Structure 1
Amino acid sequence: MAQTQAFETDFWKDASLRKVWDDIVPGEPRKTIPYTLAKEAIELYCKSVGETHPIYFDEAYAKTTRYGGLIAPPSIHILLMFSCTPADDWMRSPGTVNAGQSWSYNVPARPNDVITLQARALDKFIKRERLFVVHDNVFFNQKGDVICSGRGWTIRPL
């Protein structure tokens, strides 16, 4: 297996660079970076979450399916969220709590796709002394096809 890009696992490392509640502006696009999805990253992700379906690993099998080749599992957007955002992205703030999300899946991501993300905060509000942000995320492949899109709600750290 080829070497895949390592992800920073210390969420506190760049915490001082991230926007705090007062800096988050609804409607303002978040900074994102393109990411090339390697076959090895898909395999490592699948192994990490216990996904064993051959459509993600076995090229010969995958060619016999309606997809005509290897694909990534729909939940790969979890890996893509971190791959397509820089270390100073406010969504990476330690203490952030996922308060809910809804995703739609359009076309599967594939090995060697160049993935881009369009993301922004849609709204922010305070409820029961908690800071909420509503945000949306849309992942595209290099052809401009939407891989998946989602809306989420997070509780921000104080």
Structure 2
Amino acid sequence: MELTKKIIGLSGPEFVFEVEKGHIRKFAEAIGDSNPLYVDEEYAINTVYGGIIAPPTFPIVIGQDSGDSIDLGLNQRRMLHGEQEFIYRRPIRAGDILYCQMKVTDVYEREGRTGQMQFLVLDTEMKDEAGKLVVISRTNIVYRPLKNSETGVKL
């Protein structure tokens, strides 16, 4: 299947993610960031944040933890993670309960070395209990062209 603009607007099921101090601490350790804002509650409480916050790339864990995504019927072998971006309205805090949903926000094409390539943009919106947007995790997927061996065409 090839990507078409018709899939823009499709969304996956909503899921809930509870942000725990332990999640934040383990993530910070895994990425090698010892910033006391992420691991030291005593330090963090005396900052403008008033407590532990998550590192900026933490939403990647939230998206992976969902277990649910949008089934677009695409060939997984042709998909390549191209780019990741996080658009914040406020920091993620320990204790947050985030209501998350993935949506297809764009499909476009670019010319590559091997021909026309397609791109898929997926946004996972993460909102707090009041329904206010906290962060958008934007993933850009490269949907590579079929190789001759995949099309059944013999050279």
State which of 11, 17, 41 in structure 2 corresponds to 1:59: 41
Listed as ranges, the gaps of 5+ residues in structure 1 are 1-19
Aligned residues: 138
What whole-Å deviation, never above 9, does each CA across 1:88-120 have from its counterpart, x for those lacking one?
7669x5663222344321211112211122321
**Residues 1:61 and 1:154: Cα distance change in structure 2 (over 3 Å):** same
User: What is the TM-score of this pair, normalised by structure 2?
Assistant: 0.73
CA RMSD in angstroms, aligned pairs only = 2.8
Larger radius of gyration: 2
- The whole-number CA distance in structure 1 between the counterparts of 2:70 and 2:118 is 19
Corresponding residue of 1:8: none
User: What is the TM-score of this pair, normalised by structure 1?
Assistant: 0.71
**Residues 1:97 and 1:22: Cα distance change in structure 2 (over 3 Å):** closer
Which has more strand, going by share of residues? 2
Listed as ranges, the gaps of 5+ residues in structure 2 are 147-155
Following TM superposition, by how much is the alpha carbon of 1:29 offset from its aligned partner in structure 2, in angstroms?
1.1
Corresponding residue of 1:136: 123
- The whole-number CA distance in structure 1 between the counterparts of 2:47 and 2:57 is 19
Contact 1:105 1:147 in 2 (8 A): yes
The share of aligned pairs that are identical, in percent, is 24
Following TM superposition, by how much is the alpha carbon of 1:156 offset from its aligned partner in structure 2, in angstroms?
3.0
**Residues 1:21 and 1:47: Cα distance change in structure 2 (over 3 Å):** farther
